[in-house]
Amino acid sequence: MKRKAATPHRERLTKIVATLGPASSTPEMIRTLFDAGADVFRLNFSHGRQEDHAERLRAIRAIEAEVGRPVCVMADLQGPKLRIGTFRDGPVPIAPGQRFRLDLSPEPGDGTRVGLPHPEIFQAIAKGTDLLIDDGKVRLKVLSCGDDHADTEVLSGTRLSDRKGVNVPNAVLPLSPLTAKDRDDLRFALDIGVDWIALSFVQRPEDVAEARRLIAGRAALLSKMEKPSAIHHLDEIVELSDGVMVARGDLGVEMPPEDVPSLQKRIVREAWRAGKPVIVATQMLESMISAPTPTRAEASDVATAVYDGADAVMLSAETAAGQFPVEAVQMMDRIARRVENDPMYRTIIDAAHPDPERTTADAITGAARQVARTIQAACIVTYTTSGSTTLRAARERPEVPVLGLTSRMETARRLTLSFGVHAVHSADIHSFSEMVQKATRLAVEDGIATAGQRIVVTAGVPFGTPGNTNILRIAWVE
């Protein structure tokens, strides 16, 4: 990508993910969202046609060429959607204590039964299993079941209507997270060149391994933590993934709401420890779908994710279908900036900082963070091919940007999701001295540093050896 007049870096370390949809489909609106602060654009394959997503991606790449800096694009796969069937005469009333049957019959339902065309559910449930319908508005307890039915008791709820979603919180379903639609969408997303694939309905490490085989290195893989069973395998799933998302909406349906805040912190902490980017998502500024300002509780919610040390915070319907998409991005930007300027923020981040691994690379990267703080450097500079060196620097959660230089455009785009990383696609660099010269020039061009400031540079000798970070240098910007 040829660099033009540089677009200044964000005065913010936490990244913002904006979902595109009917309210944000035009090139002009996407550019406005980028200017407002969006760092990553999410294409939600649960909605819209493949052609719509391809058109949005083309608009993003045109903006990328115009602004001269990498822009990250994430394709979010739908995953299995488990739903009841239809009712003969429309919605039916139900009441706690009532008996209700679910079965495989395609016949329209009534006040006593309805079809559930998912034999996998009947294979996984047992007496005592809870079933949630319509995002938990209806709760049923299984009294008895067979291969093609379940007799249940209504625990809570007042009505059932056509095709409402079903959740089975306490069972691992014998389902792949990749349906036929997802596999087709995955092929399409990879062909048009997205940077991240977000995988829904992750229940176990094997689900992540399956997706990795299909992606085959053509994009980074982000696992959405939305199932209780995934929490039981958190360490393994984080290890197998390139990043994770705290998908609080679905997680909050299948688990008690009071459990979600602590789980959010646990997931963020585990991803941070592993050096993998983590997004906190769902209902962050929900009221801004229809209002120009958020509730104070929502502002506190976004701030909490930033205080937790998340790499990114995400907007869903607020930007995809809301009436105030630009204002939502601007509000999230303002909240993140305000938190990062709070003296307590740095105290909290430093206290939560994970221990370094006992490697030379971690020792050098940790030292770079400390040196940058001591001399008040403008930035930390890394050079990377795969992205691992820059991710290690982002794991340190430094107080200044990480200027990540890479000769691979796909690496630059993927790194844009990570905390504090200002990724630059640059021609291949052949020596440490060339890297220092280029870094000082780019830091000035992109508004990160000014003449007379210092930057901290990490690299490996022999130069260009992946994962061989073993040298630290302080350079003056002239």
User: Residue 131: in which H helix or E strand, if any?
Assistant: strand 130-133
The alpha carbon torsion through 40, 334, 387, 437 (nearest 10 deg) reads 120
What DSSP assignment string belongs to 335-371?
HHHHHHTSHHHHHHHHHHPPPPPSSHHHHHHHHHHHH
Of the listed 81, 83, 337, 408, which one is catalytic? 83
Annotated active-site residue 81? The verdict is no
What DSSP assignment string belongs to 141-170?
EEEEE-SSEEEEEEEE-SEE-TT-BEE-TT
Q: Contact, 337 vs 344, CB < 8 A?
A: no
Cα angle 240, 406, 223; round to 5 = 20
Of the listed 15, 139, 224, 438, which one is catalytic? 224
CA distance linking residue 461 with residue 272, whole number of Å: 27
Annotated active-site residue 282? The verdict is yes
Q: Contact, 359 vs 367, CB < 8 A?
A: no
Q: CB-side exposure of 98: number of CA atoms within 13 Å?
A: 18
Of the listed 42, 69, 113, 265, which one is catalytic? 42
Annotated active-site residue 440? The verdict is no
Annotated active-site residue 337? The verdict is no
CA distance linking residue 304 with residue 313, whole number of Å: 10
User: Which two three-digit tokens encode residue 88?
Assistant: 């003969």
Of the listed 14, 129, 152, 282, which one is catalytic? 282
What residues are labeled active site?
42, 83, 224, 282
